[in-house]
Chains A and B, each alone.
Chain A
């Protein structure tokens, strides 16, 4: 079993829909990152969080440390949100970053 699991692996949505991507992990962590990777490979860091909730524009990330679970929400989705979303956790020692397998999102107009 992978240390970091994401679901779903693939997601297709219509423009305007509310989207949720989930990330579960099995190790103790000090923080969790959400990343966005567009076709062509470029990666952008969206959030880093260790507790609670963060919001940036239409994106919201939450984390529940006790349940070892994080969610990334996209409100009013748009075709430009189409990308692969990756969660990554760093362990308590802070010396290792482990990635989930990614969620491929396609938003259709």
Chain B
């Protein structure tokens, strides 16, 4: 089975722009979670989608949003980019009913740099 894929792998944007990141889960997985990793804050949970519905959400401003499609692929969007949004964005998929009660399978991440 192919693993979790994320596109693009690297991205450079300027302040004020918006960005969309994509995540394709492992075939059959219906849960997709998104995480932000920065040197200062470490790993932080953004949100989790299951069957096209946002099921859980972390403590991030409304500039961070996401969605999930019927094929379980997910996108996250960050609007009005700030320098502090520079980070590695990771998505993970999980089997079964998903969420944190199942093993998470992580993608390679998208490294976003905001100039």
Which A positions have Cβ atoms within 8 angstroms of B? 30-31, 33, 35, 40-45, 48, 86, 88, 90, 94-102
Chain B CB within 10 Å, residue with most, of A33, A35, A43, A48: A43
Give B50-103 interface residues, CB cut-off 8 Å to A. Answer: 55-56, 58, 88, 90, 92, 99-103
Distance, CA A98 to CA B44, complexed state (A): 7
Binding site for A on B (CB under 8 A): 33, 37, 42-45, 55-56, 58, 88, 90, 92, 99-106, 108-109, 111
Given contacts A41-B88, A43-B106, is CB(A94)–CB(B45) below 8 Å? no
18 cross-chain CB contacts under 8 A: A30-B101, A31-B100, A41-B88, A41-B111, A43-B106, A44-B106, A45-B103, A48-B102, A48-B103, A90-B100, A90-B101, A94-B100, A94-B101, A96-B56, A97-B33, A98-B45, A99-B42, A101-B42
Q: Is the CB of A33 within 8 A of B42?
A: no
**In the complex, chain A residues whose CB is within 8 Å of the CB of B109:** 41-42
Known: A43-B106, A45-B103, A90-B101; 10 extra A-B contacts, CB below 8 A, are: A41-B88, A41-B90, A43-B90, A86-B43, A96-B56, A97-B33, A99-B42, A99-B45, A101-B42, A102-B42
Can you name the residue of chain A whose Cβ is closest to the Cβ of B44?
A99
> How distant is the Cα of A99 from the Cα of B106 in the complex, in angstroms?
15
By secondary structure, the A interface counts as strand
Once the chains bind, are B43 and A88 in contact (CB under 8 Å)? yes
Nearest CB in chain B to that of A40: its residue:
B108
Contact between B42 and A45, CB atoms less than 8 A apart: no
Contact B104 A45 (CB under 8 A): yes
For A48, the chain B residues whose CB sits under 8 A away are 102-103
State A25–B64 Cα separation when bound (angstroms): 27
Nearest residue (CB) in A for B106 is A43
Q: In angstroms, how far is the closest chain A Cβ from the Cβ of B108?
A: 6
Find the B residue at minimum CB distance from A47. Answer: B103
Q: What is the minimal beta-carbon distance from A45 to any residue of chain B, in angstroms?
A: 5
